[in-house]
Each structure stands twice: as structure tokens, then as C-alpha cells.
Amino acid sequence: MALDEDTNNPASYWNRLAEDQAAGRFWKCQCGESNPGDYDTCHFCQRGNPTPDPVTGVGRVFTPTREDMEECYNGVLVAYLGEDGEAIALTGDKTRALEALDTYYRAVCGQANILDDATANLMDAYYYLDCGYAVFTRRRDGGWEVAASAAMESGAVPVTWFRGAGIGPAPKPYERLGDPQIW
């Protein structure tokens, strides 16, 4: 700490650093020191901030907006969730989710439809949709992570998950194969 710094001053480096660390807005310099998120140079060695636009709210729960998601179709925000063909729609209504996700897979992914099979009945996609609630948290790089949650959890939003359609026909619910008929 510099000799001329007043630790009782609310605008001091130390108080601002403590606030920004609690909010996840700080950055770490190559010299090893932490700095408040709005500092463009290190308080100690004067090196420039390698990430000049600090991400706010790292680790905080948030409700995604249009800027956070990939596309918006008929008022439903959608995003792809990685290499397994999974996606998410910000609605608890399966019909609206199916419409938005099908449009997304056709327009963005270039597929024939959400099932990637032009001959498939689109109603089969309902078996791969799972409605529930999720919590979105901000990552350090500005992206986000999503996890299933209970409806009453703080920050939970209604979502519909699309678990990529596998190989073969759509599952038939309540049908047990190979069991003896009891009626």
C-alpha cells in the first residue's frame, strides 16, 4: 500500500478492490496483483489491463436477454448448447419451444428440421423436449452456464431443453417391449 493512501476513504483502491472482488469484476495482473475492474492499468506495476472491458457479475445468476442468446423466433430466445446437438429455449411452453427451435435448426444449422430428417413427423420432436426451470450464471469470459433447477430457486427461469434426437425412431412412451401381455 502506498504511504499516501487512506484506507478509510471509500474511493480508495483497497475499498474499490474489495467491492469488485465481491462482485466478480476485478482482474489479475501478470505481476500477481488484483485490480478493480475499471482500472486500465495495474495499481502496482502500471502494466495495461489485458482485458480492458471487465465482465460484470461473474458467477452471478441472471436472466438472459437477446444479447446473451443466439436467436429469437416469435419472442422465444434460443441457443445451441454444444457439440451434442442440444439446445435451449427460454419458454416453458413446448409448442412455442418446438416452433422456435425448429426454425433455429433450419435457419442457422441448415438442417431439414429439428430432427434433421425431412421425412420425420415433427411431433416426434416432442419426445426430445423437456420443460423445466434453469439458472443462468455468468462466466469470466462473458459467456454463461446453465443448470437445471427447481422452480422456487432464486433466479430460475422457465426453459425447454432439446436433447438431440438419437439414431432410430422416436421413443414410444408407456410401451414395454418383450413383456408378456397381461390382458
Higher-pLDDT residue of 75 and 27 is: 75
Distance of CA 129 to the CA centre of its chain: 18
pLDDT digits (tens, 9 = 90+) for 151-181: 998 899 999 998 876 555 555 555 555 555 5
Domain positions in the chain are 7-54, 61-162
- pTM of the prediction? 0.60
Take residue 143 and report the three cell numbers written for it: 459467456
pLDDT of residue 55: 53
pLDDT at 106 over 70: yes
**Distance in angstroms (rounded) separating the CA atoms of residues 49 and 53:** 9
**Would you call 99 helix, strand, or coil by DSSP?**
helix
Distance of CA 177 to the CA centre of its chain: 38
Helix then strand count (H, E) for the chain reads 2, 9
What is the pLDDT of the chain when averaged over all its residues?
80
pLDDT digits (tens, 9 = 90+) for 68-102: 999 999 999 999 987 777 899 999 999 999 999 98
